[in-house]
Amino acid sequence: MVSCGWFAIPDRGYTLLAVVGIKDPVGPGVNDAVQTCLAAGITVRMVTGDNTNTIEAIAKECRILTEYGLAIEGTEFCSRSLDQMKEIIHKIQVMAQSSPSDNHILVTHLKNMFKEVVAVTGDGTNDAPALHKADIGLAMGIARIGV
């Protein structure tokens, strides 16, 4: 038994009944939109706070993450020196488990180090710092989240 405050939970004798997997499919038109951007010479990066494995799978499905691209976690990117960032920043196609600060740092370095024109889309208040720093900020879902 494992004691949890005022009650005890048995620590054995359980039977696994099911394992459930849930997939949130890529929306219609996403793959076409990504390919249109790439054909126009736009670099598409997926930057999110979501789980690395999940985002890598979605990015591959959308053809954002290629075999030569880099998937990195926000903390790993931001823990690097400026010279190390400069070496990898153009290889980054996915940045997962990324905080608002990590996103802001990525946008700042793309603009300052490489003089890139940076566009950011976001759907939450956590995206506000990167949206504000970007040359083009596209806030989606304003009616429901109030960015």
What is the model's pTM? 0.79
User: Residue 70 is part of a domain; what is its CATH number?
Assistant: 3.40.50.1000
User: Average pLDDT of 137-143?
Assistant: 78
Residue 83: inside a domain: yes
Report the pLDDT value the prediction gives residue 144, as an integer from 0 to 100. 45
Position 14 scores a pLDDT of 86
| Tokens of residue 61, six digits | 């499905």
Rounded Cα distance, 47 and 62, in Å: 14
Structure tokens at 69: 């691209």
Q: Which residue has the tokens 């989240």?
A: 145
Domain count, the chain: 1
Establish if 146 belongs to a structural domain.
Answer: yes
Q: pLDDT per residue over 42-64, tens digit each?
A: 999 999 999 999 999 999 999 99
For residue 143, the model assigns a pLDDT of 52
Q: Using CB atoms within 10 A of its CB, is residue 131 exposed (0-12), middle (13-18) or buried (19+)?
A: buried
Asked if pLDDT for residue 110 goes beyond 80, the answer is yes
In a domain, 52, yes or no: yes
Beta-strand pair 119-122/70-73: unpaired
